[in-house]
Amino acid sequence: MNIRNIAIIAHVDHGKTTLVDKIIHATSVFRDNQETGELIMDSNDLERERGITILSKNISVNYNGTKINVIDTPGHSDFGGEVERVLKMADGVVLLVDAFEGPMPQTRFVLQKALNLGLRPIVVINKVDKDNCRPDEVHDKVFDLFFQLDATEEQLNFPTLYGSSKQGWFNTSLEKTDNINAVLDTIIDYVPAPKVNEGPLQMQITSLDYSSFLGRIAIGRVARGTVKEGQNIQLCRLDGTMVRGKIKELYTFEGMGKKKATEVSAGDICAVVGIEGFQIGETIADAEQPEALPVIAIDEPTMNMQFSINNSPFFGREGKFVTSRNLRDRLMKELEKNLALRVHDTDDADKFLVYGRGILHLSVLVETMRREGYELTVGQPQVITKEIDGKKNEPYEILVVDVPDEYSSKVVNLVTMRKGELLIMESKGEMQHLEFDVPSRGLIGLRSMMLTATAGEAVMAHRFAEYKPWKGTIPGRNNGVLIAKQGGSSTGYSLDKLQDRGSFFIDPGEEVYAGQIMAEHIKPGDLVVNVVEGKKLTNMRASGTDGAASIAPKIQMSLEECMEYIQQDECIEVTPKSIRLRKILLDENDRNKYAKTMKN
């Protein structure tokens, strides 16, 4: 059978999942009258809410008698582990580039991974229906990028298609057609069929699925030989040991689902049931002559956060899983499928250090956990430093900002305050394109300040570059916070009196506890305030009405914004229904003692 394995890679929001939708419709996976909705592949709630892809997924379609396995990948560098993992299954990649934005940092990141693996690229310039798009200029930019990334002659000779996923057309020129067959034809013509190596079985596990009926399912591509139902195999572990096993059931992908198979030959992607205790990256090999495939290399994490049990006065009110054992088990389970994550135990049994690729990577994990009913406390994100030649080094990132002309000076000012250096400044139409080299620490909390300074017009993207010497202290948050003096229910009366002291994160009537952060102070330095004081009632008639009617609504912050907002001595209490900011030491006297010892 004719097979093509293809991964779709691109920067955030350049239209990967929309293109997959169109491929699904063009190859009539669904009945014509079936209701499917948009972005079919982004299936979990978090992906739909944020409008981004988090997990790599694969589907299989048939076109003119050829089976095409299509893999959709995420575009954020925080989920780079997902991309690195699945590119091993592909023989070619479709690189999508926005016709206005051109190649962005993520385009470079994912393309580099694909070129290093020797995959054949097809370039698709998407969104040519946009105003002020520049497809020809973008095509030249893409060629320059390939050249910079040391592409081979064969890879540089890539075919280019133009079109719009949203309008559902692609063509080899800018002339509009009414279908996307050009993409499918190009995939069949340019992407090589999988190499079939004869010999004993080899299949690397590149992702896993879970079913409550079948247990854990290993997914991967058969690299050599054939895999049959009921076959005895050896599992080549990451530590070099071998474990005997047996394949109970075998499935291949068809459309959006799986189809049972009796045997799968080299080059196809399949799912295997019946193997216990496997991990991603391990090899399913022949029982008689087991040979392991090289392990998938994944970039190191650059950031860590402390996860601990919820020890606030409100613990256990909303969540089902609140103990350190629950937390530990859940983090260990996450490690099985989230390759770029690391979890380390600390001296304290209730605290764990979790290492990830960035704030988004870690916040998606926290958000998933709170939806499953976990309560936890997370600390301030820290960057991971390394000792190189006896000097302290920290991770640096390349930050790309596209912003209207009139705001560019504000952006440059903000980034240089956070120890960034301007590398490139050029104009793209009415926008200024700025590139900076900035320490990863400087990016924490930069996004909200940047959007405020540019009236929400800035588009930022960043990618890890390298480790360089430590740049010294970077200014954190300027303003202090208002902290609750005692617990109870907050009153409109006290909030009204305190409004000129800061902007509040709570509404009247919310339950608070001592040490919880109520508001941002208008000046530097923290202030302890009483928000539960009620109005004293006397039997004198008061003229005038209660002032509580004019309280400004509370500031609502997302989980990522909270992570970027907190400082060293603060943490976030995350429960299924609420996110609260608090001081690590809730008692005011403890905080004062600690501040004194730090001074000495």
- Please tell me the predicted confidence (pLDDT) of residue 36: 52
What's the average model confidence in pLDDT over 247-266?
A: 84
Report residue 37's pLDDT band, with 50, 70 and 90 as the boundaries: low
What percentage of the chain reaches a pLDDT higher than 70? 94
DSSP 352-373: EEEEESSHHHHHHHHHHHHHTT
Among the ranges 56-65, 345-354, 532-541, which has the highest mean pLDDT value?
345-354
What's the average model confidence in pLDDT over 562-590?
A: 92
Compute the C-alpha angle 124/128/129, nearest 5°: 145
- Can you read off the two tokens belonging to residue 199? 């010999």
- Please tell me the predicted confidence (pLDDT) of residue 204: 87
The more confidently predicted of residues 300 and 34 is 300
What's the average model confidence in pLDDT over 397-416?
A: 90
β-pair type (570-574, 579-583): antiparallel
- What's the chain's average pLDDT? 85
Q: Following CA atoms 44, 50, 56, 61 in sequence, which dihedral angle do they give, to the nearest 10 degrees?
A: 70
- Please tell me the predicted confidence (pLDDT) of residue 135: 86
> From the DSSP assignment, how many helices (H) and strands (E) are in the chain?
15, 35
Instruction: Please say if the pLDDT value at position 51 is more than 90.
Output: no
- Please tell me the predicted confidence (pLDDT) of residue 29: 60
Task: Calculate the CA 191 to chain-centre distance.
Answer: 28
- Please tell me the predicted confidence (pLDDT) of residue 390: 87
- Please tell me the predicted confidence (pLDDT) of residue 59: 83
Helices assigned H by DSSP within 214-323: none
Compute the C-alpha angle 90/253/84, nearest 5°: 30
Are 393 and 467 in contact by the 8 Å Cβ rule? The answer is yes
Which domains are assigned to the chain? Answer: 3-190 (3.40.50.300), 202-286 (2.40.30.10), 303-383 (3.30.70.870), 391-469 (3.30.70.240), 481-537+548-556 (2.40.50.250)
Q: Could you report the per-residue pLDDT of 95-129, keeping only the tens digit for each?
A: 988 888 888 877 887 888 888 888 889 999 988 88
| β-sheet with 120-126: strand ranges across | 57-63, 66-72, 3-10, 92-98, 120-126, 160-164, 169-171
Q: Is 315 exposed, middle or buried (0-12, 13-18, 19+ CB in 10 A)?
A: middle
- Please tell me the predicted confidence (pLDDT) of residue 266: 84
- Please tell me the predicted confidence (pLDDT) of residue 176: 84
What percentage of the chain reaches a pLDDT higher than 90? 23
- Can you read off the two tokens belonging to residue 104? 């962005």
Are 170 and 182 in contact by the 8 Å Cβ rule? The answer is yes
- Please tell me the predicted confidence (pLDDT) of residue 42: 55
Q: Which residues contact 459 (CB under 8 A, 6 or more apart)?
A: 401, 402, 403
β partners of residue 304: 355, 382
Q: Could you report the per-residue pLDDT of 282-331, keeping only the tens digit for each?
A: 888 888 888 888 887 777 788 899 999 999 999 889 989 999 999 999 99
What's the average model confidence in pLDDT over 480-499?
A: 91
CA distance 390 to 380: 27
Are 17 and 37 in contact by the 8 Å Cβ rule? The answer is no
